[in-house]
Chain A
Amino acid sequence: MQALLKANEVTKIYAKGQRPSLNKVSFNVSMSEFIAIMGASGSGKTTLLNVLSTIDTPTSGSIVINGVNLIQLSDTGAADFRRDHLGFIFQEYFLLDSLTIRENISVPLTLQKLPPEKIEKMVENLAQRFGIASQLDKYPGELSGGQRQRASAARAIVKQPSILFADEPTGALDSSSATELLKTLKEANEELHTTILMVTHDAYAASFANRILIFKDGSIIRELLKQDADRRTFYEAIARETARLDTER
Chain B
Amino acid sequence: MNNLSIALKNPKNNFSFYALYLLSVSFVITVFFAFTSFSMNRVMLEKISGDGRVETMCSVISVFLMAFVIFYMSYSNRFFLRRRMKELGIYALLGYRKTTVLSLLTTENLLVCFIAFIAGILLGGVFHKGIVFGITRLLDLTVNNSEIPFFNIHAIAKTACFIFAIVIVLLLSNSRFLFKTSLMGLVRFEKSAERKMKFHALPAIIGFGSIIMGYILALDILRGAKSVWFTIGFSPVAMMTLVLIVLGTILFIASFLPFAVQRSKNNKRRFYTEIKIITSPNFIYRMRSNSRTLIMLTLLSAATLTVSSVMALSLYYPIAAVSRMAPSEIECRIEDESETDAVRQIVNKYSSQNNVTFLQTNIYKVTSASGQLPAEYSVGNSKGDSDNEKILRKAGFECISYSDYISLLEAQGRKKALKRMEKPGDKECILVKYQSDSYKKETGNVYSLLIGNEEIPVTVTAATLDNPISFANSVGTLIVSDNLYHTMEERLSPETKVLSINGESIKDNEALFLELSEYLNGSPYLQGNSHRIHEIFSLSSSTFLLIGFLVILFFIATGSILYFNNISAITDAKDDYEILRKMGYTDRTVKKIIKKQTITFFSIPFLLGLTDCIFATIVYKTALMQNILKESLMLYIPTFIAILLTFVIYMIYYCMTVHTCAHAVLGTNAS
Contacts and interface: CB of A to CB of B under 8 A. Distances in A.
A107 B278 contact: yes
B415 interface: no
Nearest to A92: B575
Given A55-B582, A79-B587, A98-B284, A139 B196 contact: yes
B269 interface: yes
A119 B584 contact: no
B277 A110 contact: yes
A141 B284 CA distance: 15
Interface in A48-91: 53, 55, 75-76, 79-84, 86, 88, 90
B622 interface: no
B281 interface: yes
Contacts of B198: none
Interface residues of B, number: 31
Interface in B264-291: 268-269, 271-274, 277-278, 281-282, 284-286
Nearest to A116: B268
A111 B583 contact: yes
Interface residues of A, number: 37
The secondary structure that dominates the A interface is: helix
Contact of B582 (A53, A76, A109, A115): A53
Interface string A201-226: 00000000000000000000000000
Interface string A82-121: 1110101010101011111001001111110111110110
A111 B579 contact: no
Given A94-B579, A99-B278, A119 B272 contact: yes
Contacts of B193: 141-142
A96 B587 CA distance: 17
Contacts of B274: 107, 110-111, 113
Contacts of B575: 92, 94
Given A103-B281, A110-B274, A76 B586 contact: yes
Contacts of A53: 582
A99 B580 CA distance: 13
Interface in B174-196: 193-194, 196
Nearest to A165: B582
Nearest to A55: B582
A141 B196 CA distance: 9
Nearest to B191: A141
B584 A84 contact: yes
A220 to B, nearest CB: 24
B190 to A, nearest CB: 12
Nearest to B192: A141
Contact of A103 (B269, B277, B578, B669): B277
B581 interface: yes
B583 A82 contact: yes
B87 interface: no
B272 A116 contact: yes
Contacts of A84: 584
Contacts of B584: 79-84, 86, 108, 111
A96 B278 contact: yes
A82 B582 contact: yes
Contacts of B573: 97-98
A180 B205 CA distance: 46
A107, A109, A115, A119 pick with most chain B CB within 10 angstroms:
A107
A86 B582 CA distance: 9
B489 interface: no
A110 B432 CA distance: 69
A2 B221 CA distance: 80
B356 to A, nearest CB: 74
B587 A75 contact: yes
A103 B271 CA distance: 10
A219 B575 CA distance: 30
Given A96-B576, A110-B272, A79 B278 contact: no
Given A75-B669, A96-B278, A98-B286, A107 B583 contact: yes
Contacts of A97: 194, 285, 573, 576
B151 interface: no
B647 interface: no
B369 to A, nearest CB: 78
Interface string B395-411: 00000000000000000
B583 A142 contact: no
Given A94-B576, A119-B272, 16 more contacts: A53-B582, A55-B582, A76-B586, A76-B588, A80-B584, A82-B584, A84-B584, A96-B281, A96-B580, A98-B282, A98-B576, A103-B277, A109-B272, A110-B274, A116-B271, A142-B196
The 8 closest A-B pairs by CB, nearest first: A83-B584, A98-B285, A116-B268, A141-B193, A82-B584, A79-B586, A116-B272, A98-B282
Interface of B: 193-194, 196, 268-269, 271-274, 277-278, 281-282, 284-286, 573, 575-576, 578-588, 669
